[in-house]
Amino acid sequence: MKCILTIIIALALLSTCAQEKYWVYFSDKKGVTFDPKEYFHPNAIERRIKNNYPINHFSDRPLVKSYVQEVSGLASLCKGVSRWLNAIVVTANDAQIEQIRELPFVLKIEASSCHSVVCTSEEINVTHNDFEKRDLIRFQLDRMNAHQFKEHGITGRGLTIAIFDAGFPGVDKAPMFEHIRARDGIIGTYDFIRNTDNVYRKIEHGSMVFSCIAGVTKDSLRLGVATGANFLLAITEKLMKEGLAEEEAWLFAAEWADKNGADIINSSLGYTRRNHFKQDMDGQTAIITRAANLASAKGILVVSSAGNEGNKRHWMMVAAPADGDSVLAVGAINPWSGFHTNFSSFGPSSDKELKPNVTAVGHVIAYHKLLKTSETQGTSFSAPLVAGFAACAWQANPTLTNWELLKRIETSGDLYPYFDYAHGYGVPQADCFLSNTASKSNDSAFIVDIGDSVVTISIRDDLLINDTLFHVSENHDGVINIITKRDDGIKIDKNHPFIKHELFYYHLENKEGFLDEFSVLSVEKNPIVKIGLDSLEDRILRIHYYGFTRSIQF
């Protein structure tokens, strides 16, 4: 009996005396002196000027020292301070937090008591040989026409990309990153979990992500396009630990990246149901999303993986910070099938913003510590492909602001002006940044027959490309089944197993401006699709095929 009582008392004490973590927001920054030229890297000041953002903005000034000291003195532990939010993170018990709440300069207090792990990638090998690997390397960049950047000598030079991830082992030694190390292209590193400069440790997910931005194999094959950019590497991810601590680390890392002149932040991390409810994915609730929006306001282009929740029936939607309206959320396509890969999270955000914004190849060849390169998959890797792409696009168009660049990347999507919540505007195309290539929008590609009860859509015969070489299906584990569908002698192109497939897309947009449903069809014969008129009432039917888009208002 004594033992039982001991157990009950111990656990009850544990639950009642537990320390919680809180964000304590201050009301002002009175009396604070701040010299932006001393604090910021020149790039950061330049970026602010370009974006018409004050170089001495309230949010960039330091916190009032006495406020921080007073709150820290009352709390059990101060875990960090944020200039952007004018707040500090503390751990405190109920009594302590009540004392803090009484302080006259405390604006508000928010509990921060959730825990999490994140899912950043799934790894299922499906390429079969070295040849297929090499072709996948080619395809992961060619799908964006990114070779055109190289042909124009554009490698992201002059741009700084900050990568926030779980660790970068091997980046300090691997030949894949030698070209960056040789020119001191890694200009800053910091581990926001352990508060050290050493980031070349822990989980190699960050190294893999880095390789998809700027890695070059020993055969001079480029895994990413921004081989000439500079880099800031930060660890913000603490696997198997507190999720919100990671979101907070992300915020501190964003402030650090801003201070050190980052132009682009790549975040291949996503926070979902372990930290949040779906309704929190509204672009303004999650700490990490708020941080990403603030970074964007200061002129940084934030590129985030959309998340790998597409096949997880209890979430499916994008992961924070991809829900931010200023964040370029990147989904994933399957290089075999050419359309959405099943793990890639779907949009929209809970406030019905279009997400993901764009897509890129989500099954890639990336750095591997032992094998040098290996195949991996996840939106963790489609995002850095686009981050590298964005660096090159920005180098080619240096007058663009981050917001203009984001919009230009969207309009460069191969589906644009069509969009849906699986592909966004499609895969961005480099040629849109190198010439004034007009997007095809000639709706004469389609023959639309509106009958009494059914709308029948066909494709002009000369555009009908019978892309039925493969019948592609995916199971819930992301395993791809490719079956040759035709027996008329057409075989898989052995030289290029990865090709762009021409598929038919359509969606229904309601009068509130968001999509009710969307679909992708293979194209075999006319008619392509028949849709009941009753389901089209007060809606816009938008169809897309082979670069052509047509909208029909009902």
Contact residues: other proteins, CB under 8 A:
3-4, 7-8, 10-12, 14-15, 18, 20, 111, 113-117, 240, 273-279, 314-317, 337, 339-340, 346-348, 350, 352, 420-422, 454, 456, 471-472, 503-504, 506, 514-532, 534-535
8 Å CB contact between 31 and 64: yes
Instruction: Considering the complex, state which of residue 197 and residue 449 has its C-beta at the smaller distance from other proteins.
Output: 449
Task: Give residues with Cβ within 8 angstroms of 113, minimum separation 6.
Answer: 20, 21, 244
CA-to-CA dists, residue 23 to 15, 289, 297, angstroms: 21, 16, 22
Q: How far apart are CA 4 and CA 424, in angstroms?
A: 58
The nearest distance, CB 530 to other proteins, in angstroms, is 5
Residue among 375, 59, 2 at smallest CA distance from 211: 375
Instruction: Considering the complex, state which of residue 14 and residue 438 has its C-beta at the smaller distance from other proteins.
Output: 14
Q: How far apart are CA 310 and CA 474, in angstroms?
A: 12
Coil/strand/helix, residue 161: strand
The nearest distance, CB 16 to other proteins, in angstroms, is 9
8 Å CB contact between 390 and 409: yes
Instruction: Considering the complex, state which of residue 369 and residue 530 has its C-beta at the smaller distance from other proteins.
Output: 530
Instruction: Considering the complex, state which of residue 32 and residue 114 has its C-beta at the smaller distance from other proteins.
Output: 114
Transcribe 433-478 into DSSP letters: HHS-PPPP--GGGEEEEE-SSEEEEEE-GGG-----SEEEEE-TT-
The nearest distance, CB 521 to other proteins, in angstroms, is 4
CB atoms closer than 10 angstroms to residue 163: 31
8 Å CB contact between 159 and 395: yes
The nearest distance, CB 111 to other proteins, in angstroms, is 6
ω into residue 62 within 30 of 0, thus cis?
no
Instruction: Considering the complex, state which of residue 324 and residue 388 has its C-beta at the smaller distance from other proteins.
Output: 324
Instruction: Considering the complex, state which of residue 139 and residue 504 has its C-beta at the smaller distance from other proteins.
Output: 504
8 Å CB contact between 367 and 194: no
Residue among 124, 138, 136, 212 at smallest CA distance from 168: 212
The nearest distance, CB 450 to other proteins, in angstroms, is 13
Instruction: Considering the complex, state which of residue 437 and residue 519 has its C-beta at the smaller distance from other proteins.
Output: 519
Residue position matching structure tokens 């709150």 = 71
| Helical (H) or strand (E) element with 47 | helix 42-50
The nearest distance, CB 348 to other proteins, in angstroms, is 7
- CB burial of 89-120 (b: ≥16 within 10 Å; e: otherwise) equals bbbbeeebbeebeeeeebeebeebeeebbbbb
Coil/strand/helix, residue 397: coil
The nearest distance, CB 335 to other proteins, in angstroms, is 15
The nearest distance, CB 312 to other proteins, in angstroms, is 9
Instruction: Considering the complex, state which of residue 116 and residue 230 has its C-beta at the smaller distance from other proteins.
Output: 116
The nearest distance, CB 14 to other proteins, in angstroms, is 5
The nearest distance, CB 115 to other proteins, in angstroms, is 4
- Encoded tokens for 326: 């200023």
8 Å CB contact between 388 and 228: no
The nearest distance, CB 537 to other proteins, in angstroms, is 11
Instruction: Considering the complex, state which of residue 397 and residue 519 has its C-beta at the smaller distance from other proteins.
Output: 519
Residue among 330, 327, 320, 306 at smallest CA distance from 386: 330
Instruction: Considering the complex, state which of residue 8 and residue 124 has its C-beta at the smaller distance from other proteins.
Output: 8
CB atoms closer than 10 angstroms to residue 318: 33
8 Å CB contact between 215 and 222: yes
Instruction: Considering the complex, state which of residue 317 and residue 332 has its C-beta at the smaller distance from other proteins.
Output: 317
Instruction: Considering the complex, state which of residue 159 and residue 330 has its C-beta at the smaller distance from other proteins.
Output: 330
The nearest distance, CB 506 to other proteins, in angstroms, is 8
The nearest distance, CB 516 to other proteins, in angstroms, is 6
Instruction: Considering the complex, state which of residue 49 and residue 490 has its C-beta at the smaller distance from other proteins.
Output: 490
The nearest distance, CB 518 to other proteins, in angstroms, is 6
Transcribe 349-369 into DSSP letters: -TT----S-EEEESEEEEEET
Instruction: Considering the complex, state which of residue 43 and residue 289 has its C-beta at the smaller distance from other proteins.
Output: 289
Residue among 253, 291, 162, 279 at smallest CA distance from 214: 162
8 Å CB contact between 271 and 309: no
